[in-house]
Structures are given as structure tokens and as C-alpha cells.
Amino acid sequence: MKHLLSAADLSRDDAEQLLTTAAQMHDVQRREVKKLPVLRGRTVVNLFFEDSTRTRSSFEIAGKWLSADVINVSAKGSSVSKGESLRDTVMTVAAMGVDALVIRHHASGAPAQVTDWVDATVVNAGDGTHEHPTQALLDAYTMRTKLGDLAGRRVGIVGDLTHSRVVRSNLILLRTLGAHVTLVAPPTLMPSGIADWAAAEGFSYGYDFDEVLPTLDAVMMLRVQKERMTGGFFPTPREYTVGYGLTRDRLRVLPEHAVICHPGPMNRGLEITADAADEARSLILDQVSAGVAVRMSVLYHLLGGAES
Amino acid sequence: MERPDTAVPRPDAANASGRIVLTEADISRALRRIAHEIIEHNKGVQDLVILGIPTRGEVLAQRIERLLHEIEGTDVPVGSLDVTMYRDDLRSQPTRAVGHTSIPGDGIDDRTVVLVDDVLYSGRTVRAALDALGDLGRPRAVRLAVLVDRGHRELPIRADHVGKNLPTARSERVSVRLAEHDGVEEVRIAASGSEGIR
């Protein structure tokens, strides 16, 4: 495995191995000396063309704990704001002799495009509305810590499916790991062609959250992306909450053993109530903590060995 | 190298080749002697921590711990120390799976750590283990116990407790098989196979 561009790049064995290694990395995270020498002498560049706090900082910490040299380049304050193209920016950075580029870009497919231009390993840290594979890995990792093997488990992904890159990566990875996935969204936020997609990939979808809720082992609430909500997708935030928010009433219907995930940042009171976010069953903070371990595992598997 | 990559039995486990140099009884006697040596050297079992290097070193460490308990009647902390990420040959091979590290709750600071592995060969695994220990704390002393010392050291490292000194040629292969992992209990030596030097 040279790049990680899509959750579809991972076979079940790959995914299992990444998650197993992540568990070992998680142990390292609890040690006093959080440093492993595996990527000594390697350079990782975080190239973020979109704002991000948790993804960028967790990639940065992951790289540093593996002893790589990590450099952050953000679009603001770089030549990108002077009008440099993606290709020129990437080639310039790569020409300095970096080993890996971690790329977040607003255009779907940008990281895949970059692999044609540079020799370095490319990790997709979120591209447009396409994919965010490391988020899917950390979601799966976190769910596994509470639910065990995900094969046969039922996971509901609820919310703004149209604008979410998390949903595609999660769907693919959860299917790879053998889980049953149900997508739930208001009709305006359901991706077009969902029927064909669901039939081809073998997952289910619906518009009624309350019908799906009692059957779930895990519920993943997606953020309502206010910055992308310009098309009148729902009449009022209140109406969204009533139909698709994880409210106090719905918490009572959710099975006792089921866990709650949210990729963050949360809109408390909109897609998730404060009660749900702070519940014991909520894994939201575990997800953040797992983020570093999972990204360490990804960087280790991509850069740790000889090039094959 | 002398270390297996994973817990999976080696491909040659089914069609065993070569000659047996240690039988089940030999292994059992060697471990018992090592346990006695550890106690004698440490003047008891106080402040000892036994750490096995996965996969087979981990099994041996647990057996030694049981023997120590049997002889002295006290529990000795036992754990495992994976050295994969401290190896010096990571770059020359495809990415290896990371093994399991578990350090007993009280840590290793100011304790005497006994590292346990199955075969001592180049010494590079032990060097990696010493580096890994350095990141986990500062033991008062580190000792090394191995079931087989087959020579050909590439680093200035020696074992404190050795089950069996086994003169070998570099081209020969030494395979340790333990009941917990391989279903059989024996140490074999074979002429070089297609797998290369072990």
C-alpha cells in the first residue's frame, strides 16, 4: 500500500491490520515517552487547503510521535493565496524531498490527482464531498473498542449525507468489515441516485429515523454543515431537530448497548442534543483520542517499511 | 533474523526437517535451570520483571514466571515487549505487523528486567529491545535469558542465562517450536532452506 486515498483501497485484512496496529499505538499514547523511532528521518507535509483543527493536529501529532519531521502548510498565508495552482504548490513541496503528503482539499479527487504528479506517498485527509478514509478508520476503531467485532452489527449514519465526505468512507469501510449500514436523511439531503447506490453496494436507507433507531448497535450523527446550507434543504433548524436530531426522547428508544458517534465539530442542539453528546454511551471524545492512534497506524503502514 | 514476524506457525511446521537438538524434556529442564539461575543471581524474586519478546519469547517468559512462582511462592510481574518499531531493518522489508506490548502495572523503573527470547543470533533484536525499554522507563538492571544461543553475534551483546549453546553455521536454520504456538515442543536445526538464513 503506497497511498491511502479511499476506504475502498483497503481490503478486510488491510483494515484489520490498521486497526490492530492502532490499538498498539493507542497504548503508546498513554506512556510517558510518547515517541517511537520508526519514521526517523522521514518528512511528512500536512497540506491543508481547507480549515481543520482536529484532523491537521492529529496528523501532526501522529507524525511527530513516530519521529517524522512534520511541516504544516495551510492555504492561508502560503503561495496558494497568491494564486498558485494545486499542481505547482504540490510540486514545489515535493521537490524539497518529502516522503508523504497529507492533503485536505475542497475539490473531490484532488489527492488522487496529486499522485500523478509526485512520487511521495499521498494520504487523503478529506477531499471535497468525496472521502475521508482516516475518519472512517477512527470511527470503526472507536466502535470496535465498545462493540467488538463489527461483522453483523447495525450502524446507522444520520444527517447531511449529500455534503458529507465522512459518509462514503464510513459506508465503504463498515461494509468491508462486515457491518450492516443504514443511511438516514431528509429527502433533500439524501444523495441523488441513492436507490441504485444502495442496491449496488448492499446497504439500506430510509427517511424515518424513528423506525431505524431501535434496531441499531451504533448511531453516527453527521454534522449539519451550515456553511453549505444555502439551498434551503430544510425549513428551520428546529424542524430538522424534530425529524433527524438525536434528542432526549430518541435516546430512550436507542438500545441500551448502542453507542453514539459524531465526527465533530458538533452543532449541539441541532443534530445532537447536549444530553446525547455527553452520555456515557457517547464515544465522541474517544473518537478524538483514537484519531491520533489511527493516524499513527496509517503513517506506519504507509511509510514504515521498504517501498514495495 | 531470529525472530518470527507473526504468531502464525511457520510454513515449515508441518513438514519438519533437520534434526532435533532439544526435546520437550530438554526444554523443560533448561527453563527450570534458567529460573533457578535468575533467583540465585537476584537473591530472590524481589523487584523482578520478566518481559518476553513476542512471539515465542512471550510464551517462554510466562513459563519462567510460573516456575519462579513455583520455586519461591510469590507472583512475579510478567509482560511482553514488542520491538518491531525499534528494529534497524524496517526500511529493508515490507511493513511488519506490530506485536503486542504489555508492561506490568508498576512499570520497570528501578526494577531488574529479565528479557526473554527464544533464539539469540545477531543480537539485533536485543538491541532493539534495549531501545524500547529505554522509552518505557529506567530499569535498575537488564538481564537476558534465551532458550538457544546460536552464536554469530553482530553486536556486543551476550546472554546472562542460556538454555543451550548451539554452535551453528550461518547457513543453518534454528527453529524453536512451542506447544502453545506450534502444537509441538522441540528445537530443530536444519540446513538452509528456501526461506533463507534464520
H/E stretch holding B14 reads none
Which residues between 166 and 195 in chain A have a beta carbon less than 8 angstroms from any beta carbon of chain B? none
Domain ranges in chain B are: 24-171
Binding-site positions of A for carbamoyl phosphate? 54-55, 104, 132, 135, 264-265
Q: Which of A154, A185, A157, A186 is nearest to A169 (CA)?
A: A157
Tell whether the model's pLDDT for residue A176 goes beyond 80.
Answer: yes
Query: C-alpha distances in angstroms, B107 versus A307, B66, B137?
Result: 36, 20, 7
CA distance A145 to B157: 40
- Quick one: DSSP state of residue B10? P
Looking at the 3D structure of chain A, how many domains does it have? 2
Taking contacts as CB-CB distances below 8 angstroms, the residues of chain A near B81 are: none
ipTM score assigned to the predicted complex: 0.77
Provide, rounded to the nearest whole percent, the portion of chain A with pLDDT above 70: 98
CA atoms of B84 and B98, how far apart (whole Å): 6
Element housing B186 (H / E)? strand B186-190
Strands (E) across chain A are located at: 43-48, 69-74, 100-105, 121-127, 154-158, 180-184, 204-206, 218-221, 259-261
Strands B161-165 and A180-184: unpaired
Residues A164 and A253 in one domain: yes
**What's the rounded mean pLDDT across residues B50-59?**
95
CA distances from B173 to A284, B74, B100 (A): 50, 38, 25
8 Å CB contact between B18 and B169: no
Residue A63 Cα distances to A17, A69, A104, B44, B153, angstroms:
19, 7, 16, 43, 34
What is the overall mean pLDDT for chain A? 92
Classify residue A2: in a domain, yes or no.
no
Q: Computed from CA positions of residues A210, A192, A4, A263, in that sequence, does the dihedral angle turn out positive or negative?
A: negative
Q: How far is B163 from chain A (nearest CA, A)?
A: 31
pLDDT at A258 over 50: yes
pLDDT at B16: 62
Chain B positions in Cβ-Cβ contact with residue A300 (cut-off 8 Å)? 85, 95, 98
How far apart CA B106 and CA B128 sit, in angstroms, is 22
CATH assignment of B24-171?
Answer: 3.40.50.2020
pLDDT digits (tens, 9 = 90+) for B65-118: 999 999 999 999 999 999 999 999 888 888 888 888 999 988 999 999 999 999
Kindly state whether B92 is in contact with chain A, defined as any CB-CB distance less than 8 angstroms: yes
A80 and A141 fall within a common domain: no
Average pLDDT over residues A79-100: 88
**CATH code for the domain in which residue A99 is found:** 3.40.50.1370
Across the interface, of A32, A33, A301, the residue whose CB is closest to B95 is: A301
A160 and A101 in a single domain? The answer is no
Q: Is position A307 within any domain?
A: no
B-chain CB neighbours of A37 within 8 Å are: 85-86, 131
Same domain, A188 and A52: no
Q: How far is A21 from chain B (nearest CA, A)?
A: 6
Do A112 and A182 fall within a single domain?
no
Q: What are A35-58's pLDDT values in tens digits?
A: 899 999 999 999 999 888 889 999
Contact status, residue A67 vs residue A99, Cβ threshold 8 Å: no
Could you give the CA distance from residue A173 to residue A165 in angstroms, rounded to a whole number? 13
Binding residues of A for L-aspartate: 82, 165, 223
pLDDT band at A3 (very low <50, low <70, confident <90, very high): very high
Give residue-wise pLDDT tens across range A266-303: 999 999 999 899 988 999 999 988 999 999 999 999 99
Q: Determine which of A79-88, A156-165, B59-68, B83-92 has the lowest per-residue pLDDT on average.
A: A79-88
β-pairing verdict for A180-184 and A154-158? parallel
Closest Cα to residue A15, out of A179, A155, A154? Answer: A179
Q: Are A158 and A90 found together in one domain?
A: no
A181 shares its domain with A99: no
B96 to chain A, any CB pair closer than 8 A? The answer is yes
Greatest mean pLDDT range, A26-35, B35-44, B83-92:
B35-44
- Where residue A235 falls among pLDDT bands split at 50, 70, 90? confident
Q: Average of pLDDT values for B8-31?
A: 77
Residue that wins the pLDDT comparison between B105 and A10: A10
DSSP letter string, A195-239: HHHHHHHT-EEES-HHHHGGG-SEEEEPP--GGG--S--SS-HHH
Same domain, A230 and A273: yes
Q: Which residue of B has its CA nearest to A22?
A: B98
Sign of the dihedral through C-alpha A116, A117, A119, A121: negative
Same domain, A260 and A232: yes
Residue B56 has pLDDT above 60, yes or no: yes
Indicate whether A218 pLDDT > 70: yes
> pLDDT class for B4, splitting at 50, 70, 90?
very low
Q: Where are the alpha helices (DSSP H) in B73-159?
A: 124-136
Cβ–Cβ contact B155 with A under 8 A? no
Are A17 and A116 in a shared domain? yes
CB contact under 8 A, B136 and A27: no
Chain A residues lying within 8 Å of B135, measured CB to CB: 31, 33, 35-36
The maximal CA–CA distance of chain B, rounded, in angstroms, is 46
Quickly state the pLDDT bin for B196 (edges 50, 70, 90): very low
From the CA of A40, how many Å to the nearest CA of chain B? 11
Give the model confidence (pLDDT) of A115-153 as tens digits.
999 999 999 999 999 999 999 999 999 999 999 999 999
Q: Which of A32, A35, A65 best tests the B interface by mutation, with the highest count of B CBs <10 A?
A: A32
Domain hosting residue A145, numbered range: 133-286
Do residues B55 and A7 make contact, with C-beta atoms less than 8 angstroms apart? Answer: no
The pLDDT tens digits for B138-158 are: 999 999 999 999 999 999 999
Residues B31, B12: Cα–Cα separation, whole Å: 25
User: CA A176 to CA A174: how far, in whole Å?
Assistant: 5
Which comes out higher in pLDDT, residue A71 or A237?
A: A71
Instruction: Give the separation between CA A52 and CA A46, rounded to whole angstroms.
Output: 11
User: Does A243 contact B at CB distance below 8 Å?
Assistant: no
